[in-house]
Homo-oligomer: A and B are copies of this chain.
Amino acid sequence: MPRITQRDIARLAGVSQAVVSLVLNKRTDATTRIAPETRQRVLDVIRETGYAADPVARRMVRQLNQIIGVFTYESVFPSTSADFYYPFLRGIEECAEQLRCDLLLFTSAPVVDGRRKVFHENNRLRIADGCILLGRDIPHDELARLNRENYPFVAVGRRDDAGGPVPCVGADYAAATQKLVERARELGHREFAYVGAGEGAESADDRMNGFRAGTRGSGRHERTAGRSAGETLDALLAAGVTVAVVEGYADGIALIRAARERGVDVPGDLSVVVTGVPAESADADIASTGFRIPRREMGWQSVELLAALLEDRSSATLQRLLPCHFVEGQTLGEPRKDRFD
């Protein structure tokens, strides 16, 4: 049962294949004219046979596939990754839908050590017109290669240059973190500490930079790697810190829990602000103060930016930074005046 083609329609209507195509595409240029009765005859046959043009052949002729690739550095749907990827993907899906594009998830990329690699043996990136890159951290060399190959892509999350500026849609962690510090300062805080790596990924760098700007370089830096929340808490209290700016949400929650367990009042004895509160806070018992990352909007705009790149390479701004909105929680308060009494 071979597929019905325009040739078949043409034969049935007693015309040429070209006429069928012209009728289908409703061409009414001055250059292409079709007699009304001929057009009707073709339309009749099409209706009778239920013919529909093969979209694949159609795409052969038009260059773009209307397919946007989505490359995730971890599997998308396992629940461990879900909370992270979901909001981004929601925005991506919504924008793609509006642009009438399909989304291609590169599940074929082999997972090595829990991570996918863009450039592997049988790379299929070019199936899509362009690609959205999604991941906690994206290897610098892969970004560089994408740039080198002039492949249209957009990273979700700000990225440092890699053989040229990397097209990306990020969140303005620096400004948001700085604003958190300023707010704490207004409440009377003077002893700040940044809790987390503070380096490595761009997102950490940005937060640390914002922290430094807000504290005028006077803040402490408590690294969490290899330490328990309790140990970090001890270090903070010993140093006389009154407000902890925590890099990761999970670390923030852990710190607050550790404080509660020891009878350290939050925010009475120690204020804790988190640089990234999930959209739906999983821990209902703790309403942490901090800012929200506009993940959905980032997803949306990354697709929009990619579409702009595909239309016109000389697009204005290759990098977009979206503002984060303050989240009023219950873990930031005034510092205790009498704490050294």
Within the complex, the shortest CB–CB distance from A312 to chain B, in Å, comes to: 12
- Judge if A259 is at the interface, Cβ distance under 8 Å: no
Q: How many of chain A's residues have a CB under 8 angstroms from any CB in B?
A: 55
Q: Quick check: A50 and B103 within 8 Å, CB to CB?
A: no
Q: Which of B63, B94, B100 has a CB less than 8 Å from the CB of A75?
A: B94
How many chain copies does the complex carry?
2
* A111 within 8 A of partner (CB): yes
Min CB–CB distance A74 → chain B (angstroms): 11
State how many angstroms separate the Cβ of A147 from the closest Cβ of chain B: 12
Is A224 part of the contact surface with B, judged by Cβ < 8 Å? Answer: no
Contacts of A57 in B (CB 8 A): 60
Separation of A167 and B52 alpha carbons in the complex (Å): 22
Cβ-closest chain B residue relative to A62: B56
Q: A11 at interface (Cβ–Cβ under 8 A)? A: no
In the complex, what distance in Å separates the CA atom of A49 from the CA atom of B126? 11
Q: Which residues of B contact A110 (CB under 8 A)?
A: 100
CB <8 Å contact, A127 and B65: yes
Say yes or no: is A150 at the interface (Cβ < 8 Å to chain B). Answer: yes
Check if A205 is an interface residue, CB within 8 A of chain B: no
Asked if A40 lies at the interface with its beta carbon under 8 angstroms from chain B, I say no
The answer to whether A124 and B93 have CB atoms under 8 Å apart is no
Judged by a CB distance under 8 angstroms, whether A89 is at the interface is yes
Q: List 19 A-B contacts (CB under 8 A).
A: A1-B313, A50-B151, A52-B123, A52-B127, A55-B126, A55-B127, A67-B104, A76-B93, A77-B90, A77-B94, A79-B90, A79-B280, A82-B86, A93-B107, A96-B107, A100-B108, A101-B108, A102-B108, A104-B104
